[in-house]
Structure formats: C-alpha cells, structure tokens
Amino acid sequence: FAKRAGGSQVHFFDAVLAHEEQQEQQIRERIQAGLANHEFLLAYQPKVDMLCGRVIGFEALVRWQHPERGLLQPSAFVPMIEDHELVEQLGDWAIGEAVRQAADWLAAGVKTSVSVNISPRHLLRPDFIERLGFHLGRFPQLHAGVLELEILETTAIKDFSAVADFIGACKALGVPVVMDDFGTGYSSLTYLRRLPVSALKLDQSFVRGMLEDPEDEAIIRGILVMARGFGRKTIAEGVESVAHGNALLALGCTLGQGYGIAKPLPAAEVPGWIAAFEQAPPWGRAPGC
C-alpha cells in the first residue's frame, strides 16, 4: 500500500510541476505578445547627490501595463524569464526606450542620465555591444555617458572573465557599468579590483538596517573605505528617510536613491521633480558645491 501511495504521490507532484511549467509558458507567451503590443514601460527613480542637493540621474525600472491584471512590478514577471531568451528582448527594449527618453528630455532642456538593469543572460550575448552601439547611434546628440548599465554582483562572480570583458567593452563605448546590490554576493576584494566598474551600489538591506544595527553600519563603512581605495564611486539604495541620508552623509556616502527621496516616477513627472528637488534639497547644499 505504501508503495502505491508513494507512487501516486510522485504522479501528483509531476502533475503539479507540469501544470506550473505550462502556466509559466503561457505567461511567457503573454510577455512576448506584450512586447509586440507596447505594454511595457519604464518608471524612473531619481539618484541624487545629497551633499550638493543635485539630481545625478535616474534608474529605469520596468513595469508591465497588463490589459487585465493592471500595472505589474518586475518581481511578477522578470524572474520567470531570467533563463529565457525573452529577458534579452526585454533588456534590449529597455535600453532603446531609456536612450529615447533621455533624448526626449534633452530636447526639452533636461540633461540627465539613465541607468538600465541588465540580466546575466543578456549581457553574455555575443552581439550585446553591437546592439548597445546601435541604440546610442540612433541619438548622436546624446553623450554616451547618459546611459549607464547596472549588473548584479552575483552575475560578476559567476562568469568572471566574460563579465570583465563586457564591462571593458561598455567602458570603451563610454557607457559606465555599476555593480548593483553590492554586499550581498560575497565577491572577493581581488575580484572587485579586476572589474572596471565605475561604482558600487550598496544593497538596500544594509542601508535600511544601518540606523538600528551597528553591524550593517560597519559593513557600509567597510565598503566605503574599500571603494575609495579602488577609486570607485558608491551610491546607497534604500534611502527611506532623511535620517538615513544623514547617517550616510556622516559616513561620507553622498550619493543616494530611495523612497525617502522619491519612488519611481512616470517619465512625464521627471522634469518637474528635478526642478522641485533642486529648489529645496532635503539635505541642503554644502558650501563649495
């Protein structure tokens, strides 16, 4: 009897897995159709210099305006395509859309930069750099540095030499690469030293905890010292309040991004937001800025 029960249990789980796989496949087909139907859009979250009270750029974050399910956040669909060719299509669309938006803002007198998140599978594509050149070439009025790419620390560890080549090739095109969610991937200092990333983005978990947890603060201090030694910039994500900004400024971390500054905004709100922020910067403006 036990054997029979076990046997039917296996069939049961097989059926569940098959059903899940079928559902995910259906969602992927919807994503493919959604790309063709222009259902994806980018929201833009400001990155600021808290010391000088200036906006330094925006992170482009993908959203899916689903016809039946409403506005979906990336956690609802990006994980499902990370291991599929679709994530390359979505990423390529995001780069094209971000530079188009930067060119639109420039035409309206708003000079700013945008960063785009790139999935591991996408950046390893042999034609990535060629496509990057193509997107930038469409807008010769833009300086290459208006586009920045964010890659995960965990990606860099997994495929070190390919990622090092990728970063070098982007840099040669004038596109800086930043290491996202830094501090969560346990990358060794030796690795970091050999990766030509322009900046480290401190993971929001440390920033969120730094006011209560001295160990989180110690991790941030350590990363700041190391980044300085290696000549890399640092930016803190997860700046949820003015107090977080104050604590970061006290440690010498002047660049930040987070809900305490602004949530991701629709593109149309960006020019007005920049003007309002720079008119009355929450941390003031240090002398000499």
Which residues are at the interface with ligand C2E (CB under 6 A)?
Answer: 45, 61-62, 73-75, 78, 87, 91, 94, 117, 119, 150, 180-181, 204, 237-240, 257-259, 264
117 scored as a contact of Mg ion (CB under 5 A) = yes
Q: Please report how close the Cβ of residue 193 comes to ligand C2E at its closest, in angstroms.
A: 23
* CA-wise closest residue to 204 among 261, 275, 123: 261
Closer Cβ to ligand C2E, 192 or 261, answer by number: 261
Q: Please report how close the Cβ of residue 1 comes to ligand C2E at its closest, in angstroms.
A: 48
Q: Please report how close the Cβ of residue 190 comes to Mg ion at its closest, in angstroms.
A: 23
Q: Please report how close the Cβ of residue 202 comes to Mg ion at its closest, in angstroms.
A: 9
Can you read off the two tokens belonging to residue 10? 């296996």
Binding mask 218-257 for Mg ion (x = CB under 5 A): -------------------x--------------------
Q: Which one of ligand C2E, Mg ion, none is in contact with 254 (Cβ closer than 5 to 8 A by kind)?
A: none
155 scored as a contact of Mg ion (CB under 5 A) = no
Closer Cβ to ligand C2E, 51 or 239, answer by number: 239
Closer Cβ to ligand C2E, 77 or 105, answer by number: 77
181 scored as a contact of Mg ion (CB under 5 A) = yes
148 scored as a contact of Mg ion (CB under 5 A) = no
Question: Residue 178 pairs with which residues in a beta bridge?
Answer: 150, 199
Q: Which one of ligand C2E, Mg ion, none is in contact with 91 (Cβ closer than 5 to 8 A by kind)?
A: ligand C2E
What gap in Å lies between CA 38 and CA 83, rounded to an integer? 22
Question: Residue 58 pairs with which residues in a beta bridge?
Answer: 46, 114
Quote the DSSP letter at residue 241: S
Asked whether 93 and 61 are in contact (CB, 8 A), the reply is no
Closer Cβ to Mg ion, 88 or 181, answer by number: 181
Question: Residue 115 pairs with which residues in a beta bridge?
Answer: 59, 148
What gap in Å lies between CA 226 and CA 233, rounded to an integer? 10
What gap in Å lies between CA 98 and CA 270, rounded to an integer? 13
Asked whether 100 and 107 are in contact (CB, 8 A), the reply is no
Q: Please report how close the Cβ of residue 256 comes to Mg ion at its closest, in angstroms.
A: 12
Question: Residue 236 pairs with which residues in a beta bridge?
Answer: 202, 256
Q: Please report how close the Cβ of residue 97 comes to ligand C2E at its closest, in angstroms.
A: 9
* CA-wise closest residue to 170 among 130, 139, 125, 122: 130
Q: Which one of Mg ion, ligand C2E, none is in contact with 234 (Cβ closer than 5 to 8 A by kind)?
A: none
Quote the DSSP letter at residue 125: -
Q: Provide the angle, in degrees to the nearest 10, between the axes of the packed helices 128-137 and 86-107.
A: 20
Residues of the shown chain interacting with Mg ion in the complex, contacts defined by CB under 5 A: 117, 150, 180-181, 237
